[in-house]
Amino acid sequence: MPLQPNTRLERILEELEQAEGLPSLQAAIEKLRDLMGVNHMVYHWVDSAGDQYGCGTYTDAWRDRYLDQNYLRIDPVISGCYQRFHPVDWKRLDWSSKAARLFQAEAIEYGVGNQGFSVPIRGPNGQFALFSVNHSVDDEHWAEFTELHRRDMILIAHAFNQKALDLEPDLAPEASQALSPREIDAMTLLGMGYSRAQIAQTLAISEHTVRVYIESARFKLGAMNTTHAVARTISRGMIVV
């Protein structure tokens, strides 16, 4: 007698718990994709230096294209999920810019589904990862799918993240000292592209004081420079831009 879907899911998650390396994670995500009957499933972890780790079922051609073009910078799924703590349907993200629309059209050409659902994951010391499921289907059927499988997708997302942390503990962000409210304000505005003069004007403080806040934050974060400091605050969930 064939296994029922819930039993098969439990079996695959048990295999995931026993995984000993990235190939085992890849095998598990392929089985889960097939079990759910979707085009693609991806677990994606980006560290503070911009290095990427994970597994998924996108084609090698799309993965290479994504990395070569540094689409991490403009991908609405990445930027939108940085700003959220709860699962989100891709239709609720901001695809209004020309760059985002071109990116989406190209992704579909490479076999990425027109529908998607992502689970942002916040791990230890501000770790940020993302689990996504996508498929090519109309809005009505996608709404039915996400309603039916929402709980399972959240469960799978956190199972992958826990196993990734177990397998790659050196990738997890190090604990850092907490930033003060003013340091967070300064780093947030930096991340939004403000100059130091604009930050000073916005916060009604002197540029000298702005420099003090930025340097203090950089020291606490163990960052090499200001750009590195901004990247670390974003990747650790300390600020949202």
DSSP one-letter string for 86-141:
S-EEGGGS---SHHHHHHHHHHHHTT--SEEEEEEEE-GGG-EEEEEEEE---HHH
Among 47, 48, 44, CA closest to 63: 44
Copy the structure tokens of residue 28: 């598990």
Question: Does the predicted model carry a pTM greater than 0.75?
Answer: no
| pLDDT score for 226 | 85
Q: Classify domain 5-171 by CATH architecture.
A: 2-Layer Sandwich (3.30)
Radius of gyration of the chain (CA): 20
Pick the CATH number of 181-235 from 1.10.10.10, 3.30.1700.10, 3.30.43.10, 3.30.1280.10: 1.10.10.10
The yes-or-no verdict on residue 1 having pLDDT over 50 is no
> Residue ranges per domain, the chain?
5-171, 181-235
Residue 127: count of CB within 10 angstroms of its CB = 21
CA angle centred on 66, ends 64 and 67, rounded to 5°: 65
| pLDDT score for 2 | 42
Residue 120 CB burial class (10 angstroms; 0-12, 13-18, ≥19): buried
The yes-or-no verdict on residue 193 having pLDDT over 70 is yes
DSSP E strands in the chain: the ranges are 40-46, 52-56, 88-89, 115-122, 128-135
pLDDT (tens digit, 9 = 90+) per residue, 204-233?
999 999 999 999 898 888 777 788 888 878
Bridge partners, 89 (sequence order): 117
pLDDT (tens digit, 9 = 90+) per residue, 69-84?
888 888 999 888 877 7
> Rounded CA gap, 195 and 192, in Å?
9
